Chain A
Amino acid sequence: MVAATPLTVTTAVKQEFGFRVSDFRRFRSTAMLATIWGFSLAAIIPLLFVFYFVTSKGVGGLNWDFFTALPAPVGQEGGGMANAIWGSLMIVGMAACIGVPVGVLTGVFLSEFGEGKFAATLRFTVDLMTSVPSIILGLFIYTILVVPMNGFSAYAGAVALAVIMFPIVAKTTEEVLKLIPDHIREAGLALGIPRWKVIISIVLKGSVGPVATGVILAVARVMGETAPLLFTAFGNSFWSESPSQPTATLPVAIYQYAISPFKQWHEQAWAGALVLVMIVFFANLITRVIMRGSGVKRSR
């Protein structure tokens, strides 16, 4: 019987149970899987375009002058973005001085004393802070710092960036510290070491690497922030004499150059964009290497 009728299994199923042949289903499955492939390709294609154009258009403007010279007046060749680069480094540096300790300590609190209503409220607030539109934070810092201080300043910019940084650092720190099993803490406590020392010298020290990745990511993130600086640090075509003056930053300068009508400025904007993209690219690459296999979820 078997030899006489070489039934495929499919037809056997059809005969026995009256199922329709699954040709249509098989086709639909293949088509949908292809669509999924297509969509994921569509998700990353824009990134490749951005990479390509930022590199090809920006690399020409990257030269010694770009990092060392002030912007040239309109119509003149050359010039650079030295003041903006320096301004960015200064502001981000100051922001990190505030944002990193606050973020790490908040993360420690949420991970080590994370029970109870207060901690839950704090956790929720920190979560929400990560998604407050950054332009709103700019507005806020403007009203509480720029207006009372009678002017735009690097200080105000730094505070605005610090407010963006600390929730990111706090979330990563919390996630990382939670991965450390309780018995390690208990072992420390059992030796008679006070809790605060256990937390700092055992828990925190043991996860310096992953906490650092959170810091790196937060720094890379605020390095490119523009909106909160527009009316805090503002901008400046020259060197700022002190942090209490309006200060140029790389992202704001890119923005201003991009919407200007001048071709040389456009070139400078592309070069600046290339610098920013390189910073975030390497920051992400480094964190990925550090985090590999640590099982830490990235904060959203």
Chain B
Amino acid sequence: MDSFSKIQMTVLSMFSTNGRGRRREIHFADRVFYYLLKAIGVGILLLCASLIIFLYKAAEPAIAEFGWDFFITNEWDPEAQEYGALAFIWGTVVSSFIALLISVPVSVGAALFLTELSPKWLKAPVGFLVEMLAAIPSVVYGLWGIFLLAPFVRDYIQPILGNGFGFLPFFQGPPLGVGMLTAGIILAIMITPTITAISREVFRSIPDLLREGALALGATRWEMIKVAVLKTGVSGIVGAVILGLGRALGETMAVAMVIGNRAEISLSVFEPAATMASVIANEYAEANDDIDLASLAAVGFALFFVSLIINTIARFIIWRVESKSKG
């Protein structure tokens, strides 16, 4: 009703010549412009909706066939037509966890360096390098991972961990280089710029007045950072870390190239594994029967769904922190 009368008004104004005709013309052009832009916006929302619908449709046969068991069994055997995604979920969770374990202290440290410690002349170059870290294509990290990082992990890191902590189930088995640990390290490198950039924004938005307040109470420089910066910015850091997690979950190529691609669950991070993203990358183009395609699409749908939730949470937290610091 309301929109109908609006249209009516618009149509009427097109034909009206009396009085302020020129003004109406202007308004008409403005309205056309507005609705053109809005139409693009609607198109984007539709695109997003169709993304969800089509992904679900592609996955539906597998979900119909296996039900929820799909996500809690770890048989993945195209020959036997058995599909269960647990191994990939495991691989995604563990590799992302390793990535966060390494990346969080490094990223928060780098962000603190850039906001609290760095001499002025060093800020721009270090900031630029961290941004470059985000810009390097995933496939280049993968290439570097296969030929340099994986051998390095095999020859140095795995023997050290194996000798020192080999009694733990996490560090057992032969050092292969390729595997969960290497994938986690590559992921850590790739999510570091994300976490750094957002933590940096968070720290920057903390007023200097708090830092001076801490110093005036007799805090050392580190205590000032701890009391005025880290404690104040903690929810922003959490948002940054969750956003980094979202990035790690969906990262595909570099992981596919170094994780070894084996659909098995092992406690040891030395063993090859596979993630949800990496199995799609490796098998989708070669999958030829319907249930195989559908199963991979189901993995994709689950990945999409999880990353949607994770990113929504992260952005909500960051948005709240930002609006708080403004208000």
B136 touches A121 (CB 8 A): no
Taking the nearest CB of chain A, how far is it from the CB of B166, in angstroms? 25
B222 touches A29 (CB 8 A): yes
For window 30-84 of A, CB contacts with B under 8 Å fall at 30, 32-33, 35-40, 42-44, 46-47, 49-50, 53-54, 57
B37 touches A134 (CB 8 A): no
For window 212-267 of A, CB contacts with B under 8 Å fall at 217, 220-221, 223-227, 230-231, 234, 251, 254-255, 258-259, 266
**Contact of A25 with B by CB under 8 A:** yes
How many A residues face the partner with a CB closer than 8 A?
91
A131 touches B247 (CB 8 A): yes
For window 212-228 of B, CB contacts with A under 8 Å fall at 220-223, 225
Instruction: Report the separation of the CA atoms of residues A20 and B148 in the bound assembly, to the nearest whole angstrom.
Output: 50
For window 291-321 of B, CB contacts with A under 8 Å fall at 296-297, 300, 303-304, 307-308, 311-312, 315
Task: Kindly report which residue of chain B lies nearest to residue A193, judged by CB atoms.
Answer: B26
Instruction: Report the separation of the CA atoms of residues A27 and B103 in the bound assembly, to the nearest whole angstrom.
Output: 26
Partner of A37, one of B29, B117, B284: B117
**Contact of B270 with A by CB under 8 A:** no
**Contact of A86 with B by CB under 8 A:** no
Partner of B253, one of A25, A125, A226: A226
Partner of B146, one of A119, A196, A258, A297: A258
Q: Which residues of A contact B41 (CB under 8 A)?
A: 106, 109, 118-119, 122
**Contact of B131 with A by CB under 8 A:** yes
Partner of B45, one of A122, A131, A258: A122
**Contact of B141 with A by CB under 8 A:** yes
Give a binary string over A1-41; 1 marks a CB under 8 Å from any B CB, 0 the rest.
Answer: 00000000000000000000010011011101101111110
How many B residues face the partner with a CB closer than 8 A?
91
A224 touches B139 (CB 8 A): yes
Task: Kindly report which residue of chain B lies nearest to residue A133, judged by CB atoms.
Answer: B250
**Contact of B281 with A by CB under 8 A:** yes
A35 touches B37 (CB 8 A): no
A39 touches B146 (CB 8 A): no
B54 touches A144 (CB 8 A): yes
For the residues of B in contact with A, the DSSP-based class is: helix
Task: Kindly report which residue of chain B lies nearest to residue A258, judged by CB atoms.
Answer: B143
Taking the nearest CB of chain A, how far is it from the CB of B115, in angstroms? 10
For the residues of A in contact with B, the DSSP-based class is: helix
Taking the nearest CB of chain B, how far is it from the CB of A274, in angstroms? 9
Instruction: Report the separation of the CA atoms of residues A125 and B48 in the bound assembly, to the nearest whole angstrom.
Output: 8
**Contact of B4 with A by CB under 8 A:** no
Tell me which of A135-143, A177-185, A201-209 binds B: A135-143
Instruction: Report the separation of the CA atoms of residues A230 and B300 in the bound assembly, to the nearest whole angstrom.
Output: 14
Instruction: Report the separation of the CA atoms of residues A112 and B130 in the bound assembly, to the nearest whole angstrom.
Output: 32
Q: What would be 17 A-B contacts, judged by CB atoms less than 8 Å apart?
A: A33-B222, A36-B112, A39-B107, A43-B110, A43-B133, A106-B40, A127-B315, A132-B304, A133-B251, A133-B307, A135-B280, A135-B281, A140-B51, A251-B139, A270-B143, A300-B194, A300-B197
**Other CB < 8 Å A-B pairs besides A43-B110, A270-B143, 18 of them?**
A39-B108, A53-B148, A54-B140, A105-B40, A108-B37, A109-B38, A113-B37, A126-B44, A127-B315, A135-B280, A135-B281, A139-B297, A194-B26, A225-B137, A227-B138, A230-B281, A231-B285, A251-B139
